């Protein structure tokens, strides 16, 4: 297989892939109304593309297009070489469009509504590879009602492959015709013809300037249709631009060129539709962006409010976390003088109770001491439960803020034209989502607090921290033991010195307690400072983490889907542009719509 054939097959495969992707984009469910409108437009265009693919090998349908009195019918007669359609500056508005074809052409393969045409069959060389439609005028004064010429024109245009755009010195600036051409030209090749060359001045350069911004114009023909028809009737070859125009139509619209032309038309039609869809979505993108900003603003507002409340409650209950942290540090340190002191500090209440049990003289006293100890344990548990309840209430979102958020988001939803199911943003639904967020938060908060305690315990168990406290506490213990041991074993035995009296032991014990208190206060203050810093960080992190899902998850999903639709559509536009650049050289002598310049048709 030759390289040109492979390139042709590769191009067809790229086109099939592009159309398949466009169909996939069109099938995505959408709650954004502009996206649904774009999908409706694209669906019509895809149906038209499907009809083009079905009649890929059928003769080219070439239609004349222009205002009243521009000489369309005279041009058709001159191209065919005989009178095949009635010419005149004032066409009756009830006239049927005329279909001119070769007798051997299979008209059924064209897919045209043949009952709507006046059919003329002629054995002309020009008609061997194409059929000609003499279309109704687009600048008729009648409205587009059922059965009107304008309605017939709009019904015919989707079947056309090439438009011969006819105008004159008087008509080429017609805004009505230009608007109708803008709707008709997408998905068609265009040939520009100025008629009445026997009467009018050559305005082709000015006409080019008028059209250049929106159309690619390889050539403009200046035709005298009356003289050309007269020359052919007399057996002569037509002169001037009519001969060039006939050569263009017979060469560029030959059977061998059908696939190229329709392939280019498919890409242009799809490009026009995608541009129109992108414009439609872009027009409403500011409202979508406003909704996204409102979601972020509401989330940040709730986050800031809840972070402050949560942090306050956590710090109010920090003595509970402080006790757990001290126990975790003592456990991490293992067996050492200062860790033993921390355990004594943690179990001070139990130690006092144990001492009092030794002083009990009766069962009643023992029962009373047990009741006191049980009460102390119960109060501790109550404090822990109260702290957990406060933590839960700190993350509770009140109805006032829920209602305020609901009203703000509903307003932005209406402005952005996003239609969600009714009742999704009622106060009851918001309460339910808020409760779900709270439950998720409580479980995560407990895990995060455990992580903080473990992390701080490891941080405060480093030797750089531990050595100082162990040294300060151990030095005092060594001093006491050394002083007592020296007095007992050396001074009293060898030096006959008296044993230390209570005057030593009482101050020593007092300073022992004071020194222990100083060290414990210093250490717990260190723990508290680290705990407060972690709690502040935890409060913000927890709120941001939980509110990342938001109170309006369905709105967030809709916004993400809309953004994805815009991005995918722009990706399709980029692919289409690449195909257009590769195909444009195949039909270089025929005009076309410039990419992104003219809206796609909706018929």
Residue 457 and residue 383 share a domain: yes
**Lowest-pLDDT choice from 14-18, 68-72, 457-461, 544-548:** 544-548
> Is residue 217 in some structural domain?
yes
Query: What is the CB neighbour count within 10 angstroms for residue 432?
Result: 11
Residue 460 and residue 352 share a domain: yes
> Is residue 558 in some structural domain?
no
- Spatial separation of the C-alpha atoms in residues 100 and 510, rounded to whole Å: 122
* pLDDT of amino acid 585: 58
Contact yes or no for 129/57 (Cβ under 8 A): no
- On average, the pLDDT of the chain sits at 77
Domain interval for residue 377: 317-551
**Lowest-pLDDT choice from 99-113, 234-248, 379-393, 564-578:** 379-393
* pLDDT of amino acid 324: 73
**pLDDT(139) > 70:** no
* pLDDT of amino acid 566: 94
Residue 336 and residue 192 share a domain: no
The pLDDT confidence band at residue 93, using thresholds 50, 70 and 90, is: very low
Query: What is the CB neighbour count within 10 angstroms for residue 443?
Result: 9
* pLDDT of amino acid 351: 45
* pLDDT of amino acid 287: 93
Nearest to 315 by CA among 533, 580, 103: 533
Residue 537 and residue 428 share a domain: yes
**Lowest-pLDDT choice from 30-34, 138-142, 496-500:** 138-142
Nearest to 211 by CA among 267, 255, 162, 173: 173
Residue 354 and residue 234 share a domain: no
Contact yes or no for 307/543 (Cβ under 8 A): yes
Q: pLDDT of 257-285, one tens digit each? A: 777 788 888 888 888 889 889 999 999 99
- Spatial separation of the C-alpha atoms in residues 278 and 577, rounded to whole Å: 14
Greater confidence (581 vs 280) lies with 280
H or E element in which residue 45 lies: helix 33-54
**pLDDT(461) > 50:** yes
Contacts of 434 (CB under 8 A, 6+ apart): 396, 397, 402, 551
> Is residue 280 in some structural domain?
no
Residue 369 and residue 235 share a domain: no
Contact yes or no for 87/74 (Cβ under 8 A): yes
> What percent of the chain stands above pLDDT 70?
76
> Is residue 289 in some structural domain?
no
Q: Between 502-547 and 258-316, two packed helices, what is the crossing angle to 10 degrees?
A: 150
Domains in the chain, number: 2
DSSP output for 440-509: HHHHHHHHHHHHHHHHHHHHTTSHHHHHHHHHHHHHHHHHHHHHHHIIIIIITTTS-PPPP-HHHHHHHH
Residue 444 and residue 322 share a domain: yes
* pLDDT of amino acid 24: 93
Q: Domain of 176: which CATH number?
A: 3.40.50.300
**Lowest-pLDDT choice from 200-204, 255-259, 517-521, 585-589:** 585-589
* pLDDT of amino acid 544: 64
Last residue of one domain, picked from the residues 551, 568, 595 = 551
Q: Between 3-27 and 33-54, two packed helices, what is the crossing angle to 10 degrees?
A: 140
Residue 212 and residue 111 share a domain: yes
Q: Which two tokens stand for residue 436?
A: 């779900």
> Averaged over 396-420, what is the pLDDT?
79
H or E element in which residue 120 lies: strand 118-121
Please report the beta strands in 38-97, taking only residues with DSSP state E, as ranges in sequence order: 60-66
**Lowest-pLDDT choice from 218-222, 441-445, 576-580:** 441-445
**pLDDT(76) > 60:** yes
Beta bridge partner(s), residue 167: 194
Greater confidence (577 vs 307) lies with 577
Contacts of 279 (CB under 8 A, 6+ apart): 599
> Is residue 175 in some structural domain?
yes
The pLDDT confidence band at residue 22, using thresholds 50, 70 and 90, is: very high
* pLDDT of amino acid 185: 74
> Averaged over 519-523, what is the pLDDT?
83
* pLDDT of amino acid 349: 47
Greater confidence (284 vs 444) lies with 284
Contact yes or no for 590/217 (Cβ under 8 A): no
- Spatial separation of the C-alpha atoms in residues 140 and 148, rounded to whole Å: 10
* pLDDT of amino acid 367: 54
Last residue of one domain, picked from the residues 219, 234, 253 = 253
Greater confidence (396 vs 486) lies with 486
> Is residue 374 in some structural domain?
yes
The pLDDT confidence band at residue 598, using thresholds 50, 70 and 90, is: very low
H or E element in which residue 276 lies: helix 258-316
Q: Which two tokens stand for residue 220?
A: 């403009």
> Is residue 7 in some structural domain?
no
Contacts of 545 (CB under 8 A, 6+ apart): 444
CB-side neighbour CA atoms (13 Å) of 538? 27
Greater confidence (369 vs 68) lies with 68
Q: pLDDT of 368-385, one tens digit each? A: 545 555 555 455 555 555
> Is residue 297 in some structural domain?
no
| C-alpha torsion angle, residues 534, 538, 540, 541 (rounded to 10) | 130
* pLDDT of amino acid 355: 44
Residue 208 and residue 345 share a domain: no
Residue 347 and residue 240 share a domain: no
Residue 537 and residue 402 share a domain: yes
Greater confidence (558 vs 382) lies with 558
* pLDDT of amino acid 432: 64
Q: Is 164 helix (H, G, I), strand (E, B) or coil?
A: strand
Please report the beta strands in 168-293, taking only residues with DSSP state E, as ranges in sequence order: 189-194, 215-216, 220-222
Residue 331 and residue 213 share a domain: no
Greater confidence (317 vs 489) lies with 489
Nearest to 209 by CA among 196, 192, 224: 192
* pLDDT of amino acid 134: 86
Last residue of one domain, picked from the residues 505, 520, 551 = 551
> Averaged over 466-494, what is the pLDDT?
82
């Amino acid at each position: 297989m030759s390289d040109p054939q492979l390139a042709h097959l590769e191009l067809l495969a790229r086109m099939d892939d592009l159309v398949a992707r466009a169909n996939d984009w069109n099938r995505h469910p959408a709650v954004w109304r502009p996206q649904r409108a774009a999908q409706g437009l694209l669906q019509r265009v895809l149906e038209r593309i499907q009809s083009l693919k079905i009649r890929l090998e059928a003769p080219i349908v070439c239609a004349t297009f222009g205002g009243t009195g521009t000489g369309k019918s005279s041009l058709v007669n001159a191209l065919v070489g005989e009178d095949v359609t009635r010419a005149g500056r004032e066409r009756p508005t009830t006239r049927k469009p005329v279909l001119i074809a070769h007798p051997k052409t299979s008209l059924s393969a064209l897919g045209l509504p043949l009952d709507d045409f006046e059919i003329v069959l002629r054995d002309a060389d020009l008609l061997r590879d194409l059929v000609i439609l003499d279309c109704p005028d687009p600048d008729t004064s009648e409205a587009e009602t059922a059965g009107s010429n304008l309605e017939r024109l709009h019904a015919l245009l989707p079947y056309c492959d090439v438009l011969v755009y006819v105008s004159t010195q008087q008509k080429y600036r017609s805004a009505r015709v230009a608007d109708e051409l803008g709707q008709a030209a997408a998905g068609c090749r265009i040939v520009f013809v100025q008629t009445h060359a026997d009467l009018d001045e050559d305005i082709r350069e000015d006409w080019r300037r008028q059209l250049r911004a929106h159309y690619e114009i390889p050539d403009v023909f200046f035709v005298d249709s009356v003289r050309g028809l007269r020359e052919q009737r007399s057996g002569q070859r037509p002169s001037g631009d009519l001969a060039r125009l006939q050569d263009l139509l017979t060469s560029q619209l030959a059977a061998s060129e059908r696939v190229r032309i329709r392939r280019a038309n498919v890409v242009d039609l799809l490009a026009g539709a995608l541009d129109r869809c992108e414009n439609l979505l872009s027009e409403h993108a500011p409202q979508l962006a406003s909704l996204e900003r409102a979601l972020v603003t509401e989330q940040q507002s709730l986050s800031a409010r809840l972070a402050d409340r949560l942090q306050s409650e956590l710090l109010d209950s920090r003595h509970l976390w402080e006790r757990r942290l001290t126990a975790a540090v003592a456990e991490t340190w293992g067996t050492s003088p200062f860790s033993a002191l921390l355990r004594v500090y943690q179990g001070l209440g139990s130690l006092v109770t144990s001492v009092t049990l030794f002083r009990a003289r009766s069962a009643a006293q023992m029962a009373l001491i047990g009741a006191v100890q049980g009460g102390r344990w119960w109060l501790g548990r109550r404090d822990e439960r109260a702290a957990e309840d406060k933590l839960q209430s700190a993350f509770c979102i009140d109805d006032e803020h829920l209602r305020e958020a609901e009203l703000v988001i509903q307003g932005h939803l209406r402005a952005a034209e996003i239609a969600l199911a009714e009742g999704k943003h009622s106060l009851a639904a918001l309460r339910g989502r808020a409760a779900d967020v709270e439950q998720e938060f409580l479980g995560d908060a407990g895990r995060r607090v455990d992580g903080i305690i473990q992390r701080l315990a490891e941080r405060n168990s480093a030797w750089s921290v531990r050595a100082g406290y162990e040294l300060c506490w151990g030095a005092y213990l060594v001093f006491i033991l050394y002083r007592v041991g020296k007095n007992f074993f050396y001074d009293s035995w060898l030096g006959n010195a008296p044993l230390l009296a209570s005057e030593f032991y009482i101050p020593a014990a007092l300073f022992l307690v004071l020194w222990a208190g100083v060290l414990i206060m210093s250490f717990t203050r260190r723990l508290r400072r680290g705990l407060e810093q972690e709690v502040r960080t935890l409060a913000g992190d927890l709120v941001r983490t939980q509110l990342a899902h938001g109170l309006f998850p369905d709105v967030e999903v809709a916004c993400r889907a809309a953004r994805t639709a815009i991005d995918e559509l722009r990706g399709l536009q980029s692919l289409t542009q690449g195909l257009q650049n590769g195909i444009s050289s195949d039909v270089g002598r025929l005009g076309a719509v410039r990419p992104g310049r003219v809206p796609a048709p909706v018929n």
